[in-house]
Amino acid sequence: MKEFSVTDADAGARLDRFLRRIVGAMGQGVIEKALRSGHVRIDGQKAKSGQRLIEGQVVSVAPYFLSHAEQHQAAQIQPKKPVVNKEKAAKEIDQMTLIQTSEWRALNKPSGLAVQGGTQTHKHIDGLLSAGFPSRDYKLVHRIDKDTSGVLLVAEGHHAARTLTKGFRDHIINKFYLALVVGALPASGVISAGLRKSGGKGLEKMIVDDAEGQPAITDFICFDSAGVVSLVGFSPRTGRTHQLRAHAAHLGTPILGDGKYGGAAAHIGGVGKKVHLHAWGLRLPTGEEVFAPLPGHITSALQVAGLNLPTAENFPCFGFSGRDRVT
């Protein structure tokens, strides 16, 4: 059985939709049959298609179901999944690696590269790890958006995956994001606005809805501002899909380049269309801090806007000492 850890971003999703995301488009009948026969389980127990996932659970999928899914996809006249060269995949992962221990790797994921596969998504971190290190038991324990760059933690082995997944679920692993937003924000504050999916097949967009949405809370600090654009630090207390992007837009200060949530207002002259959101740091329960260097499109935008990165005087913040911060 291949195991998939339920991350904070997957929490609340229906099991059948989760399965389609990890194996691609599948008929409901095929999924129901696999569930009845026990080829798909949650924490070792049989489950139903409409069951809502809880962060920290482990979804086990039998090779039979994965094989059937691959055959189904091949029949859908989709582009052939490219073969990933082992040496090339390993090199890509090694180049992204910030720190490696016996239990985890911290990667600096580039913007535009997905963490997991799905329909029409053939290149992703999960696939590169499997192709490059087939003898290593790497497991994803959280996710960051495809359009977001920065620190991604990957566990090695079942025990480490359980421990780290629990750390993210219980919020004892802290996250620190840097973003450029359009407009100005107060010096600091807390955004508390419930989020829910806006609906529509294949549409992954969140909207603010305190009545029916899931609770979502984000702390922020404005480090520097040029009026038209500001450098902001975000630390999410919850882990909803697109939480920071939706919350920033909710304040009327969308993340620079994020047309999905900010529309035309998110694009200002002289700046590319990449989303200017970076998972800058993680703080582990041991107190260890892992920071990821900023990507080129963000450093360039900072220079154009004349904005300065946080200095030693700006720390500690969000529980980070900042002693290992990098730019």
Query: Mind listing the pLDDT tens digit for each residue in 246-305?
Result: 999 999 999 999 999 999 899 887 566 799 999 999 999 888 999 999 999 999 999 999
- Domain edge (last residue) among 44, 78, 112: 78
**Co-location of 152 and 184 in the same domain:** no
Shared domain for 180 and 309, answered yes or no, is: yes
Last residue of a domain, one of 129, 148, 168: 168
144 and 240 together in one domain: no
Residue 319: inside a domain: no
Q: Let me know if residue 226 belongs to a domain.
A: yes
Mean pLDDT of 312-327: 73
Q: Do residue 99 and residue 151 come from a single domain?
A: yes
Residue 70 has pLDDT above 70, yes or no: no
Spatial contact of 174 and 193, defined as CB atoms under 8 Å apart: no
Per-residue confidence (pLDDT) for residue 251, from 0 to 100 = 95
Q: Which of 8, 145, 147, 258 is catalytic?
A: 145
Task: Kindly tell me if the per-residue pLDDT of 170 is higher than 70.
Answer: yes
186 falls within a domain: yes
In a domain, 320, yes or no: no
User: What's the mean pLDDT in 295-323?
Assistant: 84
- Specify whether 71 is located in the same domain as 119: no
Has residue 324 been placed in a domain?
no
159 and 239 share a domain? no
pLDDT for residue 78: 46
**The total number of structural domains that make up the chain:** 3
**Which pLDDT score, from 0 to 100, does residue 32 have?**
85
If asked whether residues 107 and 45 sit together in one domain, one would say no
- Of all residues in the chain, the percent with pLDDT exceeding 90 is 49
145 is catalytic: yes
141 domain-assigned: yes
Q: Is the dihedral of CA 120, 9, 56, 221 positive or negative?
A: positive
CATH of the domain at 43: 3.10.290.10
62 plus 84 within the same structural domain? no
Is 200 a residue whose pLDDT tops 70? no
User: Residue 68 has what pLDDT?
Assistant: 56
Q: What is the pLDDT of residue 234?
A: 96
Q: Where among 113, 142, 168 does a domain terminate?
A: 168
pLDDT: is 170 or 217 the higher one? Answer: 217
Q: Label residue 62 by pLDDT band (50, 70, 90).
A: confident
Residue 125, amino acid:
I
What's the token pair of residue 175?
Answer: 């996250």
Strongest mean pLDDT among 17-31, 55-69, 175-189, 271-285 = 175-189
Range of the domain at 114: 79-168
One domain for residues 64 and 155? no
What mean pLDDT do residues 139-167 have? Answer: 92
Report yes or no on 64 lying in a domain. Answer: yes
CATH of the domain at 251: 3.30.2350.10
Q: Residue 57 has which token pair?
A: 């659970």
Query: Based on the domain organization, do 186 and 302 belong to the same domain?
Result: yes
- The confidence score (pLDDT) of residue 79 equals 45
Could you tell me the CA-to-CA distances from 107 to 75, 96, 191, 242, 323 in Å, in that order? Answer: 35, 5, 28, 20, 19
Q: Which residues contact 220 (CB under 8 A, 6 or more apart)?
A: 185, 188, 189, 190, 191, 232, 233, 234, 235
pLDDT value, residue 1: 75
Beta strands 277-283 and 174-182 are antiparallel
Residue 297 lies in a domain: yes
Rounded-to-integer distance, Cα 137 and Cα 129, Å: 9
pLDDT in tens, 115-140: 987 667 778 999 999 999 988 989 99
Mark whether 289 and 253 lie in a shared domain.
yes
Residue 38: per-residue pLDDT: 87
Q: How far is CA 93 from the centre of its chain?
A: 17
Do 226 and 306 fall into the same domain?
yes
Average confidence (pLDDT) over 28-53: 86
Q: What is the pLDDT of residue 158?
A: 87
